A and B are shown apart, each in its own frame.
Chain A
Amino acid sequence: DTGVSQNPRHKITKRGQNVTFRCDPISEHNRLYWYRQTLGQGPEFLTYFQNEAQLEKSRLLSDRFSAERPKGSFSTLEIQRTEQGDSAMYLCASSFVRGDSSTNEKLFFGSGTQLSVL
């Protein structure tokens, strides 16, 4: 069963360093989402892709954050000049939607990357 795969599982970094996370979605899924979750909160939407196109970015996503999905398959999320406030669980999710928007979103989540910025 190849679900959504994320790596690394954990990342500890010093403030000011750059970090990059990878997400491999379920292979036939055309949509890929990034969410951020802090302790005691629900996941907060960051951005999503349909195939290789980045269709929406949250206001939460500062200029230090960039996401790519170059070939419409895996995605990377990079955080530049990390700050302590970036410490969180970064969740990736994928789904399949038809082009006519007749399908509802049913996201399948990966296990996340836990980022700790010291």
Chain B
Amino acid sequence: EDKVVQSPLSLVVHEGDTVTLNCSYEVTNFRSLLWYKQEKKAPTFLFMLTSSGIEKKSGRLSSILDKKELFSILNITATQTGDSAVYLCAVEGEETSGSRLTFGEGTQLTVNP
């Protein structure tokens, strides 16, 4: 059964700090790893990673995947209060009936002014 473990489960920082969120996984027939941000209701898509060692970047957020170590990190630099959210990691694995996502528990990030 596919498994995703995120750490830490919660993190409190001050504005301007840099944070690193971790995601390790076990999956059958890996296809991709995704990061989502969930503020109140709907998770919103951040990144999709399919290849090892290639950094995806969007503004102050970046992510990288290590397929050998089955690991991904999400970095947020110069954090702002608006970054406060739950960050979800999910892996897409190939099933016989098609692929689907398995999510981790999430990391609750709180950025204080």
Contacts and interface: CB of A to CB of B under 8 A. Distances in A.
User: Size range of the interface on B?
Assistant: 20 to 34
A43 B103 contact: yes
B104 A106 contact: no
A56 B101 contact: no
A104 B92 contact: yes
B42 A42 contact: no
A8 B82 CA distance: 27
B105 A42 contact: yes
B7 interface: no
Given A56-B95, A105-B32, A45 B48 contact: no
Interface in A80-114: 89, 91, 97, 101, 104-112
A40 B44 contact: no
Given A40-B105, A104-B48, A48 B100 contact: yes
Contact of B88 (A43, A55, A101, A112): A43
A35 B5 CA distance: 18
Given A42-B106, A101-B98, A108 B31 contact: no
- In this complex, which of B34, B42, B44, B92 has the most chain A Cβ atoms within 10 angstroms of its Cβ? B42
A7 to B, nearest CB: 13
Q: Which of B97, B102, B105 has the most chain A CB within a 10 Å cutoff?
A: B97
Interface of B: 4, 6, 31-32, 34, 36, 41-45, 48, 50, 88, 90, 92, 94-95, 97-106
